[in-house]
């Protein structure tokens, strides 16, 4: 591949709800750019972007992949993204390194739950965007209603740049409102033929053009003056559009059919014309805000790693974007995130599963390098002596957990080492051992995410696993203060006896205080050296719990008196005395079961509010507040973890996948007695 300068590069993420046609659209762009000789199809597993065996098997994108289309003297780095929320980790990575996004809308459905979500993430990164209404050739395609759903649900005012000519079976091409010409389906990947806009479309075209020109002029005083005086030239419209798109004030809408390669060349033109090159994009500040990194090959080198994956053919692959300077192959970089040097071998540009070797990657460009040992996703590379840190990638937090164990006995160690590898590769996949339930827990962004990770573990490392819902890590506590409880341990069996005697008071403490041991022994009624033994005896009993075997917490034990025997007393005897005292006290102190309560934040479109709150009530949840955020409502609630184990699934079904939520541990609270009895019965059964 020839060399491209920074200003000739465009980094574009392609985002949408699953199935809108992202991967197909990218395939068509690659075909037009000459990167492939014929257009592959998702359904046949032949596209450039969906190349991994699991993607081919499932006929859908599971990983981001970087592809290159060369177009009009420019290099388009087009990054495909998965549409399913389970893989939004990759989406965050991609949007972090993109300078703009193409949002694909399915003309037969309009905006879907996933469209809303990816749009919001693009908002977070403040990315310029362009909408492509795809599948205009398909039955039930309707441009007008797709457009209306964009305006209504995404709350954005759009600027139509192309109108469809015909629809469904009769879809013939697009009417371009800047050039005011009709553009038909190209012959192969030749330039698409142009002609006059059909007369029946003229009036509508004029009307939309008027709006488009006004939108293009709006951001610029000179252009707006000209607009009111009369006509703008096509060139002026283009310039106005470009600045409007870059500042996110104008969102152009194009249309076409990826599978038919209609409208795709015009989309590529718009990408080149409207989207910023890396040196024109929003400047990047270092994480400490001290340095602005200039997207110039002459600046000092800084590079962000946005994806690492294990490739069955080339081992580990590391994808990166150079933000400033030049990254050279066969060189050494300083990984400022880890504080270590890393040797970089052969660099390449990625083209789906294949790659194109290169000796260097310039500021603004995206590349890939195999077989690194230290670097992880989110790390920064810079030159030795520099300590630049680029802002990292904010990964979504897990929403579902499962307890995992090996299917085959004896695979425990292999399971843990494999799980550790998976967490290294995928920052949204987490592993944790719960000490209370002794379960190994894996968490991720959805059921599909977890099941796919398990499949990969099986295929790549032949570790087969079983999962089940996690157990709730209950705890226990005492509700009543009791005082004056004796624990006495005395054994006399021939020779030397055993003797320990202690007196304690037990008081409940505030939630979250844990355990407090107060030693108020005066006058040596128990010698100093035996006091730790008493505490040990009490602690051991508390660990075992008194109701259902869960650790007992939030309790103060005061040891205030006792007796000893100069010969028969021992650590063991006092430990036993402590544990006896505690057991007696606990019986009288009205023990209770504690359960974890989660702080939950749920964001849904307004119309689902009633159902969400009803569902929370049935889950023993307490709504703490509701806030409006655009057309969405954000509900803050407090809900027991026991009720939230499958919430990602419930929320999806209540809102048709339009809701999202996060939750984090808040505190422990007492389980209502009736429920506690059920938990105890269940534990006993086990």
- Binding stretches for ligand GDP (CB under 6 A): 16, 18-24, 41-43, 60-61, 83, 134-135, 137-138, 257-259
Q: Is 246 in the site for Mg ion (CB under 5 A)?
A: no
Looking at the Cβ atoms of 14 and 183, the one nearer to Mg ion is 14
| Cβ count near 53 (within 10 Å) | 11
Looking at the Cβ atoms of 205 and 258, the one nearer to ligand GDP is 258
Residues 6+ apart with CB under 8 A from 44: none
Q: CA distances (Å), 182 to each of 177, 199, 205, in order? A: 9, 11, 11
Q: What is the separation, in whole angstroms, between the first and last Cα of the chain?
A: 64
Q: Is 569 in the site for Mg ion (CB under 5 A)?
A: no
Rounded (to 5) percent helix, strand, coil in the chain: 30, 30, 35
Which of 283, 306, 327 lies closest to 379 in space, CA to CA?
306
- Structure tokens given for 167: 């629809």
Backbone angles phi, psi at 220, to 5 degrees: -130, 120
Q: Which stretch binds Mg ion (CB under 5 A): 59-67, 265-273, 388-396, 556-564?
A: 59-67
Looking at the Cβ atoms of 134 and 242, the one nearer to Mg ion is 134
Q: CA distances (Å), 289 to each of 310, 322, 325, 405, in order? A: 33, 18, 19, 44
Q: What is the smallest separation between the CB atom of 29 and ligand GDP, expressed in angstroms? A: 12
Q: How far apart are CA 612 and CA 617, in angstroms?
A: 9
Q: What is the smallest separation between the CB atom of 183 and ligand GDP, expressed in angstroms? A: 16
Q: What is the smallest separation between the CB atom of 611 and ligand GDP, expressed in angstroms? A: 28
Q: What is the smallest separation between the CB atom of 20 and Mg ion, expressed in angstroms? A: 8
Looking at the Cβ atoms of 57 and 170, the one nearer to Mg ion is 57
By rule CB under 5 A, what count of residues binds Mg ion? 3
Which of 512, 578, 503, 591 lies closest to 540 in space, CA to CA?
578
Looking at the Cβ atoms of 23 and 265, the one nearer to ligand GDP is 23
Q: What is the smallest separation between the CB atom of 100 and ligand GDP, expressed in angstroms? A: 18
Q: How far is CA 27 from the centre of its chain?
A: 26
- Residue 442: which of ligand GDP, Mg ion, none does it interact with, CB under 5 to 8 A by kind? none
Q: What is the smallest separation between the CB atom of 141 and ligand GDP, expressed in angstroms? A: 8
Q: Which stretch binds Mg ion (CB under 5 A): 14-22, 124-132, 441-449, 608-616?
A: 14-22
Q: How far apart are CA 514 and CA 476, in angstroms?
A: 11
- Residue 216: which of ligand GDP, Mg ion, none does it interact with, CB under 5 to 8 A by kind? none
Task: Give long-range contacts, CB 8 A cutoff, 24+ apart: 230-234.
Answer: 234/178, 234/179
Query: What letter would DSSP give residue 297?
Result: T
Q: What is the smallest separation between the CB atom of 62 and ligand GDP, expressed in angstroms? A: 10
Pick from 6, 32, 47, 61 the residue near Mg ion by CB under 5 A. 61
Q: What is the smallest separation between the CB atom of 69 and Mg ion, expressed in angstroms? A: 16
- Residue 75: which of ligand GDP, Mg ion, none does it interact with, CB under 5 to 8 A by kind? none
Looking at the Cβ atoms of 78 and 526, the one nearer to ligand GDP is 78
Looking at the Cβ atoms of 83 and 640, the one nearer to Mg ion is 83
Q: CB–CB of 113/657 below 8 Å?
A: yes
Looking at the Cβ atoms of 92 and 137, the one nearer to ligand GDP is 137
Looking at the Cβ atoms of 137 and 595, the one nearer to ligand GDP is 137
Q: Is 23 in the site for Mg ion (CB under 5 A)?
A: yes
Q: What is the smallest separation between the CB atom of 45 and Mg ion, expressed in angstroms? A: 12
Burial-class residue 568 by CB neighbours within 10 Å (0-12, 13-18, 19+). Answer: middle
**Strand locations in 445-590 (E):** 465-468, 475-478, 482-491, 498-508, 515-519, 555-563
Q: Which stretch binds Mg ion (CB under 5 A): 18-26, 346-354, 444-452, 539-547?
A: 18-26
Q: How far apart are CA 13 and CA 249, in angstroms?
A: 19
**Where do contacts with Mg ion occur on this chain (CB under 5 A)?**
22-23, 61
């Amino acid at each position: 591949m020839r060399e491209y300068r920074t200003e000739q590069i465009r980094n574009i993420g392609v985002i949408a709800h699953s199935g809108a046609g992202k991967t197909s659209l990218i395939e068509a762009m690659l075909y037009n750019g000459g990167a492939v000789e014929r257009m592959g199809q998702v359904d046949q597993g032949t596209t450039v972007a969906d190349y991994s065996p699991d993607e081919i098997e499932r006929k859908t994108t599971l990983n981001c992949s970087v592809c290159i289309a060369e177009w009009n003297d420019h290099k388009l780095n087009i990054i495909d993204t998965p549409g399913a929320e389970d893989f939004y980790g990759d989406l965050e990575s991609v949007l972090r390194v993109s300078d703009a996004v193409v949002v694909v809308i399915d003309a037969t459905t309009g905006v879907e739950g996933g469209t809303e979500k990816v749009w919001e993430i693009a908002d977070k990164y403040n990315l310029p965007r362009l909408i492509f209404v795809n599948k205009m050739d398909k039955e039930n395609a309707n441009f007008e209603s797709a457009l209306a759903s964009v305006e209504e649900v995404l709350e954005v005012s759009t600027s139509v740049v192309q109108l469809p000519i015909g629809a469904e079976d009769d879809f013939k091409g697009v009417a371009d409102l800047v050039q005011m010409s009709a553009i038909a389906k190209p012959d192969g990947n030749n330039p698409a033929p142009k002609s006059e806009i059909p007369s029946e479309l003229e009036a509508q075209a004029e009307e939309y053009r008027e709006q488009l020109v006004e939108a293009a002029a709006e951001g610029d005083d000179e252009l707006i003056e000209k607009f009111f005086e009369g006509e703008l030239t096509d060139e002026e419209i283009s310039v106005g559009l470009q600045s409007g798109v870059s500042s996110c004030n104008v969102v152009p809408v194009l249309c076409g059919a990826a599978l038919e390669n209609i409208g795709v060349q015009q989309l590529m033109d718009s990408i080149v014309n409207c989207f910023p090159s890396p040196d024109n994009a929003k400047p990047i500040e270092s994480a400490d805000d001290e340095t602005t990194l200039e997207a110039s090959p002459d600046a000092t080198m800084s590079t962000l790693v946005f994806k690492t994956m294990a490739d069955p053919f080339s081992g580990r692959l590391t994808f990166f974007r150079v933000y400033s300077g030049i990254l050279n192959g066969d060189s050494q970089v300083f990984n400022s995130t880890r504080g270590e040097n890393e040797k970089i071998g052969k660099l390449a540009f990625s083209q789906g599963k294949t790659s194109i070797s290169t000796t260097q990657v310039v500021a603004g460009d995206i590349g890939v390098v195999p077989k690194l040992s230290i670097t992880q996703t989110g790390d920064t590379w810079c030159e030795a002596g520099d300590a630049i840190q680029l802002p990292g990638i904010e990964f979504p937090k897990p929403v579902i957990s499962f307890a995992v164990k090996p299917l085959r006995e004896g695979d425990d160690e292999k399971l843990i080492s494999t799980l550790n590898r998976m967490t290294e590769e995928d920052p949204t996949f987490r592993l944790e051992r719960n000490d209370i339930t002794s379960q190994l827990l894996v968490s991720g962004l959805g059921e599909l995410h977890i099941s796919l990770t398990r499949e990969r573990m099986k295929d790549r490392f032949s570790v087969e696993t079983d999962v089940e819902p996690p157990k709730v890590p209950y705890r226990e506590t005492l509700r009543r203060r009791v005082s004056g409880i004796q624990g006495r341990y005395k054994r006399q069996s021939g020779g030397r006896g055993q003797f320990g005697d202690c007196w304690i008071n037990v008081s409940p403490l505030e939630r979250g205080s844990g355990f407090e041991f107060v030693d108020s022994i005066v006058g040596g009624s128990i010698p100093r050296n035996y006091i730790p033994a008493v505490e040990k005896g009490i602690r051991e009993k508390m660990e075992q719990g008194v109701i259902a075997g869960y650790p007992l917490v939030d309790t103060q034990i005061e040891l205030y008196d006792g007796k000893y025997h100069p010969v028969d007393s021992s650590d063991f005897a006092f430990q036993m005395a402590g544990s006896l005292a505690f057991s007696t006290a606990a019986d009288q102190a009205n023990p209770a079961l504690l359960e974890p309560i989660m702080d939950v934040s749920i964001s849904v479109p307004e119309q689902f509010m009633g159902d969400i709150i009803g569902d929370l009530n049935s889950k023993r949840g307490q709504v703490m507040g509701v806030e409006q955020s655009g057309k969405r409502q954000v509900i803050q609630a407090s809900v027991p973890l026991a009720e939230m184990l499958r919430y990602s699934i419930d929320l999806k079904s209540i809102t048709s996948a339009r809701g999202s939520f996060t939750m984090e541990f808040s505190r422990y609270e007492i389980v209502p007695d009736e429920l506690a009895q059920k938990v105890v019965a269940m534990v006993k059964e086990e």
